[in-house]
Structure 1
Amino acid sequence: MAQDSSFEQRQDEGISVFLTSSALDLSGVVASVKSPKAGALVLFAGTTRDNFQGKSVTHLEYSSYPPRALKTMLSIAQTMKQKHALTAITMGHRLGVVPVAEESILIAVSAPHRQPAWTAGEEALEMCKEKVEIWKLEEFEGDQGGVWRANRDGPTHVPSDLASSNDISR
């Protein structure tokens, strides 16, 4: 779980959430949820793809208010752990520039059985995309610029050139 001193990590029993500007460490996140009590381990790795709606993507850039985002992530993880009787859950999100083919988010869950692990992993991801206070700037190739979005795919929001002229902070 790559960490950098700029961002806090919050933990509860069997729960870890973190934000970092460093590359995410898949094996570290998997190791954080492994347990002899768990018969299933599910890892979701959200990776920057090279295109969106027919446009070539050069990179994504994520921005957040870390104290608030971590609080929301912790709440989601606690809910998932209780609701699905998980052994453990770790959620980590990268901030700053994330190049194509690198991970933006990792969610790992472990549970005694596979179905709760699958379900909890999917629900945690959807809740994270819906609720966590993280925004992304999607930069396109050439003179197409970029657009700000909430941390999910969907309708575009403020074009990046308008964001800078209207003083919207990253």
Structure 2
Amino acid sequence: MATESSPAVPSKQPSSQTSSILDPSNFPQTLSSETIYISLVYDPLDVPAYLRFTRSPKAGANVLFLGTTRDNFDSRPVSRLSYSAYPSLALKSLYAIAEDVQKKHGLEKVVIVHRLGEVKVEEESIAVSVSSGHRASGWTGAEEILERVKARAEIWKREWFADTGEVQEGVWRANKETDAQGNSIQSK
């Protein structure tokens, strides 16, 4: 059963006021168990804490993926990204993804942490860390988690370009606009 806290990173309870649902002072927000840690944060990601959580004496492989803001998209200069979420649903979706992929690939432990708010170029917006008995299940499981998060989690990305007036408003991006290799996916 998931709980609202974790020994790896302290959590705060979300405010009941709708206007403060994304107030950074109400974060981090987490769901966790002995083998799964899910969190939404506004602060820079604490990668060493996530690796400590996934470390296990049963694991011969520890896989870490960090999604980082790059300085371009589709040949346009990107100045930053910002992320928004529906926290209570996003946490439940991330936990369900972690639980399902953990069972499917026999993963020992799973961490999914997504950053909200502004994420500058070269900063990380998502961390997926898994441990497994062998590397093949760790690689496959971590990639499947990332693809499912992009397809399902109630987290939205806004891209800010440095070459147009869109710097003031940004452009909302669907996470599914590119495949795992970065190739554009055409809408039908």
- Which residue in the other structure is 1:76 paired with? 97
Q: How does 1:1-170 map to 2 (within 5 A)?
A: 5=12, 6-7=26-27, 8-145=29-166, 146-154=170-178
What is the distance in 1 between the residues matched to 2:36 and 2:75? 38
What is the distance in 1 between the residues matched to 2:141 and 2:35? 14
Q: 1:4 to 1:99 in 2, by over 3 A?
A: farther
Shift of 1:26: 1.2
* Aligned-partner SS, 1:75: helix
Would you say how many aligned residue pairs link Structure 1 and Structure 2?
156
Kindly provide the CA deviation profile for residues 69-94 of structure 1, in whole angstroms up to 9, marking residues without a partner as x: 00000000000111111110000000
What is the distance in 1 between the residues matched to 2:37 and 2:82? 23
What is the distance in 1 between the residues matched to 2:61 and 2:173? 34
Q: 1:2 to 1:137 in 2, by over 3 A?
A: farther
- TM-score by length of structure 2 reads 0.78
Shift of 1:106: 0.1
Tell me if the contact between 1:55 and 1:140 (Cα under 8 Å) persists in the aligned partners: yes
- Structure 2 residues not aligned, in runs of 5+: 1-7, 13-25, 179-183
What is the distance in 2 between the residues matched to 1:60 and 1:89? 25
- Structure 1 residues not aligned, in runs of 5+: 157-170
What is the distance in 2 between the residues matched to 1:2 and 1:56? 34
Shift of 1:2: 6.4
